[in-house]
Amino acid sequence: MEAYHPVRHSNRLQKFITRFLQYFILAIVVVIIFVPIVILIFGSLKTTGEMYSHPYTIPNPPHWENLTTILSTPAFWRLLRNSLVLMLATTTGVVLVCGLAAFVFARLDFRGKGLFFNLFTLGLMFPINVAILPVYFVLRQMNEMGIHLIDSLVGVILVQIAFNISGNIMILRGFFTAIPSELQDASYIDGCNNFDFFWRILLPLARPALAAVAALTMIVSWNDLLVPLVVLNSDQLWTLPLGTMQFQGQYGQDLALVSAFVALSAIPTIIFYLFAERQIISGLTAGAVKG
Amino acid sequence: MSRKTYLILSVLLIVSFALTACGAPAATQAPPAATEAPASTEAPAAEPVTVTWWHITTKDPGLSDWQKMADDYMAAHPNVKIEITVLENEAFKTKLTTVMQSGDPPDIFQSWGGGTFNQQVQAGLLKDITADLEADPTWRDSFAPGALGVYSFEGKNYGVPWDMGMVGFWYNKALFEQAGIAAPPATWTEFLGDVQKLKDAGITPISIGEGDKWPGMHFWNYLATRICGQAKFEAAMARTGSFTDPCFVEAGTKLQELVALEPFQNGFLGAVHDDMQAAFGNGKAAMELSGQWAPSTQAANSADQKGIGDNLGLFGFPAVEGGAGEGTDVVGGGNGFAIGKNAEPEAVDFVKYLTSVQNQTTIAANGSGIPVVKGAEAGLTDPNMLQVQQTFAAAKYFQLYYDQFLPPATGSVLNDSVQGLFAGTLTPEQVAQAVEDSVAQEMK
Amino acid sequence: MQQLPAIPDILKLKRVSGAPHRLQDTVLIALFLLPALILFLLFVIYPIFRSIYFSLFDWNGLGPAVDFVGLQNFKDILTDQVFLKAFKNIFLIIVFSVGVQLPLALALAVMVGRDLPGRGLFRTIFFMPYVLSEINVAIMWMLLYNPDPDRGLLNAIVVALGSEPIGWLSNTNLVLFSIFIALTWKYFGFHMLLYLAGLQNIPQELEEAARIDGANSFQNFFYITLPLLGSTIRTSVYLSVLGSIQQFILVWIMTKGGPVNASETLATYMYRFGFVRFQLGYGSAVAIYMFLLCLIFSLLYQRLTRQPDYLTGL
């Protein structure tokens, strides 16, 4: 205890230095995060000529032409609309499908439950990046049988839902099992059947979990390039990432224009992120830590 | 929080729907004052017909000219709707093959002829239009026969050309002067010497987009043509000879000599075709080995949209001393319209319109190609393009670029292998062997 | 753990109280499970079998598959230099990720910690790249990596420091490293987040107790924090490895696996043979190999990491 007093001064200095170093390092990381984004934004506010003559300065004055050009082409809004439709449909589908299935796994018991659950676990090891070629074969086969899923948004939606099932069932199951079983017992005593318990008690309680799953799925679907790339042909159906890829391939030399396009296409994502950050993070950490 | 999110999303949805409705695409609106009504041979059908057309002219002026031709046709044929999909070269190749897989090709699409085209015919994906050509001899005879032949298989026609030219060295006259080069090189040795002079003057000698692989393939293609000559190549294709013949290995060795001089721009191994055209068009490189599409893409990809203007010159690929090929042999190709198997007669009629003398003259004038229809070459005012057309016409041996002429899998192997030569990871023997193995497998 | 014994009793209770009987239960279970099951079987499980079938053929996709070659595709893959290169590249990416990206994320998580003022802001900023789409990230970094110092910021800095411009994406020795930097930029925030969550779960009393016993920060970290973060680290490594194996879009957009296959990954290899060259039998075989790789890794990992979790003692 005698050691306390002399230690106090150097302790405070030490703490200050540590804090300073921490903030310094964190600040550097923040800069590293922002550099690509800032360069992109600068590029989008310059004319192409300026990109060559003054590539790294702040655009002064900012030229909005590239942005307005892109915003006034109907193709851009078509991309947005397709991405939006896709995102909403996939998210609704995933929440519904996984919610129902996770409920069954979490709160009910039946023969073969373990088997079915392991089946879904298998899906975690067959991610879409690996499965895209096999899935393409199946879509082709269905096309030959008359079910036209190729070059259709429905095809993309179904495939996206299918490949988001495994992970989200895990996440939801984790949340659902955390609900105390006394609630379930009590509801049975009150005369509810399983469906009532699901609809009236579990779902309202599980709202944060469902929101988390929804937020995650929205991000995944909005950013998905691979499935639309393989399934869609007609440029009327292209989604935003696909359109970005095509735009860059076509106008790659016009750095300012491409920067403008990429910046514009990132805005919806950022806005969504700022609103739904908590849901996204809770979904990810729940799935990862418990899964 | 989630409620707010849904609110934002609903607003976004409504806004984007509204904007899409307001900004209705003008593609189907007829432009005013058409220059000449397109000749239509048959009475237009009463029911509406949609014709899908995929092309790869991503830049102006070609892009707008094609659109205008489609608009003019639609104005004269109100029941026909032409849907154009424009894709960049590499994206087009991938998308087309995917669509072919599902057995649903577009009605009209870009084609280079050769092995890929032949495979498509054999798989029954293209429409036989021999009868349509026979029924209209004026149309059929308007084409240069060699060019028309590229889009035929075993005597039947499945497409028509709209452009046929050759690959050569486009060069910057001002930069050559700066390096003290009086005249373009006529032999390979002179060529290597000129490369060295350019390097000594601090100028990047050659611009190449080897990231896309096929620009580099043209070098090997020409060297093989110069060294092996027509007979050896045709023998190798007929399987009476082989691609491991020393002359093909020699082609690779000569290419290595060039690569060893480090004549290319920075980052050439990762550069794409557009980068290559941009570097040349911005005056950053003295030469590029490219085809008749070069002038227009150089301009389109350059910072000032004009390219190097009057400084642009063209010289043919130099002769290789001791080679079996002729200095007049030409490697090249062009573009054509392949007709998909599901195409309606209106699609064929539209293609007839696209290849009319008047529209071909437009193509000649806008520099996106060399017309193949008699009479349209009057539109060629650019001396460089005229030079292309004349050299092409004078050649006794015309070879379609290997990566299109060979079966697609072999073309792919060739492109990958030649990239290995540029990167120094493969030897000329390995390249020759890879091509031989692939040809043996594909043509068994 | 508690509910399992309860349910059979509940069922008994229901039966006794005249509640809905088992058929309705079974119907409910079936109905609830059906949509997930159908979609999953149709689009996830069935394709595995379909591609096993096609992997036994040499097929270019036009027309039916008729050229049966047995296991030839599988053998050819293992002897293909490019495949082996892709495999080696994946291994390198995994090593970089686990050896560089994860410790970085951990260090930052510890720094941000529990009580740093402004940590919410840091968390938001660091996690942001994760939500951007891979194509956007790829294009942003391609801008930075542009070989022309007048267009690419990194080369401008390099030239300003006095050296020659670097071929970030065209130099065969550098390209994988350049891609890895872009990958780290995008994903380290995710791992940092995991560690932050894991840190929250460590009771502060333990660290304080250690400090009273005389441990300094380093000792505290290595002997207390790190072991308690065990399950989080395991999860992070697992996700990182799996993610590296399937990495596709970023690499494809930036380099297509080039130049000369220097940045080839398993996924770009499969995509090229499947969707570019349309050697669909061969491509299917690659997909099978990738699936097996993920499967084997997952099983091995589960087996290897069945250590007691210090926090819960299970």
Give C259's contacts in chain B (Cβ within 8 Å): 210-211, 269-270, 419, 423
C45 part of a folded domain: yes
Residue B36 has a pLDDT of 37
DSSP string, C148-161: STTT-HHHHHHHHT
**Across the interface, which of A136, A161, A193 has its CB nearest the CB of C20?**
A193
* Residue percentage of chain B with pLDDT more than 90: 59
Strand partners, B153: B156
Report helix, strand or coil for B278.
helix
Interchain CB distance below 8 Å, A214 and B16? no
Which long-range contacts (C-beta less than 8 Å, at least 24 apart) are formed by C198-205? C198/A289, C198/C229, C198/C231, C198/C232, C198/C233, C199/C109, C199/C110, C199/C113, C199/C114, C199/C225, C199/C229, C200/C114, C201/C228, C201/C311, C202/C228, C202/C229, C202/C311, C204/C114
Question: Of A265-269, B11-15, B38-42, C174-178, which gets the smallest average pLDDT?
Answer: B38-42
| B24 pLDDT tier (thresholds 50, 70, 90) | very low
Looking at chain B, which residue has its C-alpha nearest residue A243?
Answer: B87
For chain C, first and last CA: distance in Å? Answer: 13
Give how far B433 is from chain C: nearest CA, Å.
15
Residue among B200, C152, B414 nearest A36 (CA):
C152
Give how far B440 is from chain A: nearest CA, Å.
27
Report helix, strand or coil for A285.
helix
**Alpha-carbon distance values, A139 to A152, A232, B391 (Å):** 11, 11, 49
C216 and C95 in a single domain? The answer is yes
**Residue of C44, C73, C269 best to disrupt the A interface, most CBs of A under 10 A:** C44
Interchain CB distance below 8 Å, C277 and B408? yes
Interchain CB distance below 8 Å, A278 and B303? no
Residue A16, both tokens = 């200050």
**Across the interface, which of A108, A133, A195 has its CB nearest the CB of C270?**
A133
In the block, residue with structure tokens 């940590």 = C119
Quick one: A112 exposed, middle or buried, by C-beta within 10 A (0-12, 13-18, 19+)?
Answer: exposed
Interchain CB distance below 8 Å, C170 and B98? no
Neighbours of chain C (3+ CB pairs under 8 A): A, B
What average pLDDT does the segment A78-84 reach?
Answer: 95
Give how far A82 is from chain C: nearest CA, Å.
16
Q: What's the rounded Cα separation, in Å, for the pair C213 and C207?
A: 10
Give B85's contacts in chain A (Cβ within 8 Å): 234-235
Q: Is the pLDDT of residue C63 over 60?
A: yes
- What lies within 8 Å, CB to CB, of B117 at 6+ separation is B111, B126, B150, B151, B153, B158, B159, B338
Residue among B427, B358, B401 nearest B168 (CA):
B401
For chain B, first and last CA: distance in Å? Answer: 65
Interchain CB distance below 8 Å, C170 and B270? yes
- CATH 3.40.640.10 is the classification of domain B44-164+333-393: no
More confident residue, B185 or A199: B185
Which long-range contacts (C-beta less than 8 Å, at least 24 apart) are formed by B12-21? B12/A80, B12/A84, B12/A268, B13/A81, B13/A84, B13/A88, B16/A77, B16/A80, B16/A81, B16/A84, B17/A81, B19/A74, B19/A77, B20/A74, B20/A77, B20/A78, B20/A81
Per-residue pLDDT reduced to its tens digit, B137-175: 999 888 887 788 889 898 899 999 999 889 999 999 999
Q: What's the rounded Cα separation, in Å, for the pair B292 and B218?
A: 13
A3 and chain C: CB distance < 8 Å anywhere?
no
Question: Of A101-115, B23-37, C70-84, which gets the smallest average pLDDT?
Answer: B23-37
Report helix, strand or coil for B82.
strand
Say if CB B251 and CB B345 are below 8 A apart.
Answer: no
Interchain CB distance below 8 Å, B2 and A77? no
- Gyration radius from chain C CA atoms: 25
| C306 pLDDT tier (thresholds 50, 70, 90) | low
Interchain CB distance below 8 Å, C193 and A281? yes
Give how far A253 is from chain B: nearest CA, Å.
6
Looking at chain C, which residue has its C-alpha nearest residue A160?
Answer: C43
DSSP string, B330-376: EEE-EEEEEEBTT--HHHHHHHHHHTSHHHHHHHHHHTS----BTTG
Residue A56, both tokens = 């790294």
Which of the 8 DSSP states describes residue B185?
A: -
Say if CB C14 and CB C20 are below 8 A apart.
Answer: yes
Per-residue pLDDT reduced to its tens digit, C143-196: 999 888 888 889 999 999 988 888 899 899 999 999 999 999 999 999 998 898
Q: Is the pLDDT of residue A39 over 80?
A: yes
C59 part of a folded domain: no
Give how far A93 is from chain B: nearest CA, Å.
16
- Chain B 174-203, CB below 8 Å of chain A: which residues? none
Interchain CB distance below 8 Å, A126 and C40? no
Interchain CB distance below 8 Å, C150 and A55? yes
Residue C148, both tokens = 């022309």
C63 part of a folded domain: no
More confident residue, A85 or C60: A85
What average pLDDT does the segment C287-295 reach?
Answer: 93
Interchain CB distance below 8 Å, B19 and A278? no
Residue B16 has a pLDDT of 45
* Residue percentage of chain C with pLDDT more than 70: 90
Q: Is the pLDDT of residue B319 over 70?
A: yes
Q: Is the pLDDT of residue B255 over 80?
A: yes
Residue A200 has a pLDDT of 85
Q: What's the rounded Cα separation, in Å, for the pair C115 and A242?
A: 42
Output the pTM of the full model.
0.84
Per-residue pLDDT reduced to its tens digit, B392-401: 878 888 899 9
Residue among C196, C184, C188 nearest C232 (CA):
C196
Q: Is the pLDDT of residue C109 over 60?
A: yes
- Choose from A100-109, A240-249, B145-154, B197-206 the range with maximum mean pLDDT: B197-206
Residue C55 has a pLDDT of 92
Q: What's the rounded Cα separation, in Å, for the pair B245 and B224?
A: 11
Q: Is the pLDDT of residue C312 over 50?
A: no
Looking at chain B, which residue has its C-alpha nearest residue C65?
Answer: B101
| CATH class of this structure's domain B168-331+400-442 | alpha beta
- Gyration radius from chain B CA atoms: 23
Q: What are phi and psi of B252, to 5 degrees?
A: -65, -40
Give A272's contacts in chain B (Cβ within 8 Å): 5, 8
The CATH number assigned to the domain holding C112 equals 1.10.3720.10
**Across the interface, which of B120, B412, B419 has its CB nearest the CB of C277?**
B412
Neighbours of chain A (3+ CB pairs under 8 A): B, C
Give A253's contacts in chain B (Cβ within 8 Å): 274-275, 277-278, 301
Looking at chain C, which residue has its C-alpha nearest residue A258?
Answer: C139
Element (H, E) at B441: helix B428-442
Give how far A223 is from chain B: nearest CA, Å.
16
Per-residue pLDDT reduced to its tens digit, A50-72: 777 777 888 778 888 889 999 99
Residue B4 has a pLDDT of 55
Q: What's the rounded Cα separation, in Å, for the pair C31 and A183?
A: 23
Q: Is the peptide bond before B61 cis (omega within 30 degrees of 0)?
A: yes
**Alpha-carbon distance values, B303 to A47, B312, B374, C212 (Å):** 11, 16, 35, 67
Element (H, E) at B288: strand B285-290
* Residue percentage of chain B with pLDDT more than 70: 89
Q: Is the peptide bond before C259 cis (omega within 30 degrees of 0)?
A: yes
Per-residue pLDDT reduced to its tens digit, A142-178: 988 888 888 899 999 999 999 999 989 988 988 888 8
C151 part of a folded domain: yes
Which of the 8 DSSP states describes residue B213?
A: S
Residue C49 has a pLDDT of 92
Give C279's contacts in chain B (Cβ within 8 Å): 409
Task: Compute CA C227 distance to the chain's CA centroid, rounded to the nearest angstrom.
Answer: 23
What average pLDDT does the segment A69-81 reach?
Answer: 93
| B135 pLDDT tier (thresholds 50, 70, 90) | very high
| A287 pLDDT tier (thresholds 50, 70, 90) | low
C161 and C49 in a single domain? The answer is no
C176 and C287 in a single domain? The answer is yes
Residue A288 has a pLDDT of 62
C27 and C87 in a single domain? The answer is no
Question: What's the domain count of chain C?
Answer: 2
What average pLDDT does the segment A94-117 reach?
Answer: 90
Q: What's the rounded Cα separation, in Å, for the pair C285 and C283?
A: 5
C159 and C276 in a single domain? The answer is yes
Residue C15 has a pLDDT of 39
- What lies within 8 Å, CB to CB, of A223 at 6+ separation is A241, A269, C131, C132, C133, C134
Say if CB A262 and CB A223 are below 8 A apart.
Answer: no
Residue C130 has a pLDDT of 93
Give how far B163 is from chain A: nearest CA, Å.
21
Residue among B200, B155, B150 nearest B179 (CA):
B200
Interchain CB distance below 8 Å, B97 and C61? yes
Provide the residue type at C131 as one letter: V
DSSP string, A228-256: HHHH--STTS--HHHHHHHHHHHHTT-HH
- What lies within 8 Å, CB to CB, of B239 at 6+ separation is B439, B440, B443
Question: Of B39-43, B55-59, B355-359, C39-43, which gets the smallest average pLDDT?
Answer: B39-43
Say if CB B230 and CB B397 are below 8 A apart.
Answer: yes
Residue among A140, A158, A159 nearest A148 (CA):
A140
Residue A82, both tokens = 């397709």
Range of the domain at C41: 1-54
A120 and chain C: CB distance < 8 Å anywhere?
yes
Q: What are phi and psi of B50, to 5 degrees?
A: -110, 130
Residue A9 has a pLDDT of 58
Give how far A160 is from chain B: nearest CA, Å.
19
Interchain CB distance below 8 Å, A194 and C28? yes
C173 and C306 in a single domain? The answer is yes
| ipTM score of complex | 0.88
**Is there a common fold for B44-164+333-393 and B168-331+400-442?**
yes
Residue A10, both tokens = 């150097």
Would you list the domain boundaries of chain B?
44-164+333-393, 168-331+400-442
Give how far B420 is from chain C: nearest CA, Å.
6
C161 and C262 in a single domain? The answer is yes
Query: Across chain B, what does the average pLDDT equal?
Result: 86
- What lies within 8 Å, CB to CB, of B165 at 6+ separation is B291, B292, B293, B332, B333, B334, B369, B370, B388, B389, B392
C276 and chain B: CB distance < 8 Å anywhere?
yes
Q: Is the pLDDT of residue B388 over 50?
A: yes
Residue among B218, B175, B275 nearest B418 (CA):
B218
Interchain CB distance below 8 Å, A193 and C19? yes
Element (H, E) at B312: strand B312-315
Neighbours of chain B (3+ CB pairs under 8 A): A, C
C87 and C48 in a single domain? The answer is no
Q: What's the rounded Cα separation, in Å, for the pair C3 and A183?
A: 11
Q: What's the rounded Cα separation, in Å, for the pair C286 and C77?
A: 7
Q: What's the rounded Cα separation, in Å, for the pair C276 and C254?
A: 16
C66 part of a folded domain: no
